[in-house]
Amino acid sequence: MEEIKNRSEILFLYEIENSNPNGDPLNENRPRFDSEENKVLVSDVRLKRTIRDYWFEYKGYNGSDDKDIFVRETKYSDGNEDYIASGSRRAELFKESSDKVLKTCIDVRVFGGVLPIKKDTFTYTGPVQFQMGKSLHQTEIITEQGTGAFASGDKKKQTTFRTEYKIPYALIGFNGIVNEKAAQYTKMTEEDRELLLEGIWNGTKNLISRSKFGQNPLLLFTVNYKEPYYIGGLRQRLKMISEKSELQIRNTEDYKIDLTGLLKEIKANSDKIISVKVQVDSRLKFLNNGETYTLENKTYKTDDF
């Protein structure tokens, strides 16, 4: 398998509708929120879990055929009870070999990790890093009250009550990077990079649990560089244009994405860029210098913009 030789920068946009994109367990599982800007936040850990779950459930990285996910819940038994395995116990399954972990576990090759091996502890900096995701517009947290199906115990005449916290709508953006230097140490391959992009898009599309249903990928914009360089802050170079107030936005019909700042930087750095790969939902509408603009599902050269 071919090793990664060039750097990539990732911009990922997805929408959520009437759901909780990333609950905070220390705050009643409310959506993570920037109260200064009134924007919803999503941790990089949440996105990585989405990708890991996709690899595990749909791509065969489930412990068979020498393909696995290292950071996942596994259990062991002492003969009487089942327990959740620790990181060191997971490492034992790979004969305490860091080489075997890297060969077998795509998530360590891509995201790095700490391998608590008894002989030594190996720390790998992941080639792929994401900043915390943030909505491109202001939104709010809504509270929903409901009742459960069961009572809290025997001889109770009422069912339990439940409280849920949701975001009515948000367009959330992530910045990411694939560092070819770190990839040399974790042995991340070009096949891994393609599986990463597939996991970002299809993993988000397959978030169909009760709390996550209503999340859809809208734009995956990957800049491939010729040299160790990246533009940075791709999400921050976008603007959301809408005739409605930001709190009234409820779907892709309510806004357009102004690409002017982003495409300007792409052109200014064209001598450093090999290509730009785009995956886009046809519902998303764009502007460039005030004019309607179209992005297609294809790989662009910088001269195409």
Q: What is the model's pLDDT at position 80?
A: 74
- Give residue 83's pLDDT: 65
Cα end-to-end distance, the chain, whole Å:
32
pLDDT number for residue 175: 98
Q: What is the pTM of this model?
A: 0.91
Structure tokens at 237: 């170079």
Q: In 59-157, which residue ranges form alpha helices assigned H by DSSP? A: 87-92, 98-104, 106-111
pLDDT at 100 over 70: yes
Neighbours of 270 (CB within 10 A): 12
Q: Alpha-carbon distance 48 to 110, whole Å?
A: 10
Q: Which helix (H) or strand (E) holds 48?
A: helix 44-58
* Residue scoring higher pLDDT (54 or 150): 54
Q: Sign of torsion, CA 13 274 267 305? A: negative
Q: What share of the chain is helix, strand, coil (3-state, %, to 5)?
A: 25, 35, 35
Quick: pLDDT tens for 181-224. Answer: 999 999 999 999 999 999 999 999 998 766 667 799 999 999 99
**Does residue 157 carry a pLDDT above 60?**
no
pLDDT at 245: 98
Instruction: Please give the torsion angle defined by the CA atoms of residues 142, 138, 197 and 303, in that order, rounded to the nearest 10 degrees.
Output: 160
Nearest 5°: CA angle at 127, between 126 and 131?
80
